[in-house]
Amino acid sequence: MKTLTTTLLLFIFCIPILSAQTYKGKQKDINAILENIDQFSQNYMNGDAKAIAESYTADGKIFPVDRDIISGTDGLLKYWTLPDGIKVK
């Protein structure tokens, strides 16, 4: 019984950690960030490299592993453009 009680208590205390992410800050700012994330994901799923590249700021950069830093709209567009015949599932 002690093991069951301990397990249940541990589970109850871990639920907040395992549940949805919480955000701190102004709700307006949080909503804007979440909307941008959603739009970026939709652009990615639609294979819209131009929209993805344009979602970066003028000085935006990508730091890919084992590659040079990518910056500028042209570089970002090239990075996000999929080869012909390749689509995101």
* Dihedral pair phi/psi, residue 71, rounded to 5°: -145, 170
Total domains present in the chain: 1
**pLDDT recorded at residue 88:** 84
With respect to residue 76, please indicate whether it lies within any of the assigned structural domains. Answer: yes
With respect to residue 3, please indicate whether it lies within any of the assigned structural domains. Answer: no
pLDDT at 56 over 90: yes
| pTM, entire model | 0.69
With respect to residue 13, please indicate whether it lies within any of the assigned structural domains. Answer: no
Band (4; pLDDT cuts 50, 70, 90): low
Range of the domain at 62: 48-89
**pLDDT recorded at residue 41:** 96
pLDDT tens track for 29-54: 999 999 999 999 999 999 999 999 99
pLDDT at 19 over 70: no
Q: Compute the distance between CA of residue 17 and CA of residue 47 in angstroms, rounded to an integer.
A: 34
